[in-house]
Structure formats: C-alpha cells, structure tokens
A = this chain, B = another copy of it.
Amino acid sequence: MTRASTRKPGEATGDDQAAVPRRLLEHATKLFAKKGFDRTSVQEIVEAAGVTKGAMYHYFGSKDDLLYEIYARVLREQTRQLESVASSAAPLRERLAAAASDVVVSSIDNLDDNTIFLQSMHQLSPDKQKAVRAERRKYHERFRGLVEEGQASGEFRTDKPADVVVDFFFGSVHHLGSWYRRSGSLTARQIGDHYADLLLDALRPPSA
C-alpha cells in the first residue's frame, strides 16, 4: 500500500496493482460472463478485485454503471475497427470479407464481453439500454451499407433484403460464445474466414 503510494492514481504499474477502476471492470466482466449480471453480487466483484465496496461506489455510480462501461468499451472498439476496414481503398468484396472476419475474431478474443452482451443487455436501465442500442444500430447500418453497395453494383444478389442478410450474419456472430471453445481445433481467424466465406457466397447472385 505505502510502497506504491508514490505513483499517480489512475496509472497501472503491475498486475494486481493496476488502477482500481480497471481491476473492477476486469473482474466484473469475468464474473458477469460466468454467472450472469443478477447472480453476481457487488460483494463478489469487489472481493475478486481485492478492494471494498466503498472503493467501487467511489468510482462507479451503481452496479449498472459497471455493466454499461463494459458495453461502451467494446462498442467503441468494434466501431473503430469497422470504420477503418470499411473505408479502405480495397475492392468491395475484400472490404466486406475483412470486416466480417475481423468482427468474428474480435468477438472470439473477447468472448466474455460477447457473452455478457447477449445475456445481460436487457437488465440495464432503460435509458442506458437505449444508448447501447443506438450505438449498436449505427454499427449495423455501416455494415449494411457495404452490402447495399454490392447490391447496387451488381456484385451481390438483390433478391434478399440487405437488413435481413445483416441480421442473419450477426446472429451467427453473437452466438459464437455459446459454442466456440478455445480448446477446439480451429483458430479464431479460421472461423472468421469461414464465416466470411459463407456470407460472401450466400450473397453471390443466384445465376453466378
């Protein structure tokens, strides 16, 4: 305690000496993913993080806030990644394939966040839930834009509504957490490429 007391607050130094908010978020993520939001008590979280309830409520307004912060971080990162891939100069098919594969890989890398998203989204307070949905929607729309671009250029089939295709694909992505195991024989990238192939091939015009 006194040993590390000279460092600035908010700075991470070691492993369990990382900043308190970061440690809380980290352990909360693991616990929420494992036992669900409602089944995880604040007491458990702070014990896992090695702090007290007082510390937690010092940094976060509520247990809800904790969950919201977890979401927000993931959403920001995914949106950033999609934007970067989607606006590159590569051909459309490559951009879509890369975007699809990337979101699979990042979902697998952060399986816990993904699981939480799936299970605990709806027990956020209504307004925070709305904020998350809005962000999520923007992400989907950007992705859908790629599909529509291909439909307009004739590269993709037009007999399937773009939003149905996008929902179809993201359903698969969101559900990775329920079956993917790190012990399996396929790497995250291999799954990502498979998924991207399946999407792209499903989008081929029926005649081609």
Contact = CB atoms under 8 A, between A and B. Distances in A.
- Number of this chain's copies in the complex: 2
Given A39-B123, A206-B201, A171 B176 contact: yes
A93 interface: no
5 contacts: A38-B123, A160-B198, A164-B191, A168-B194, A174-B175
A170 B118 CA distance: 15
Contacts of A178: 171, 174
Interface in A170-208: 170-176, 178-179, 186, 191, 194-195, 197-199, 201-202, 204, 206
A196 to B, nearest CB: 11
Contacts of A170: 175
A36 B124 CA distance: 11
Contacts of A161: 186, 194
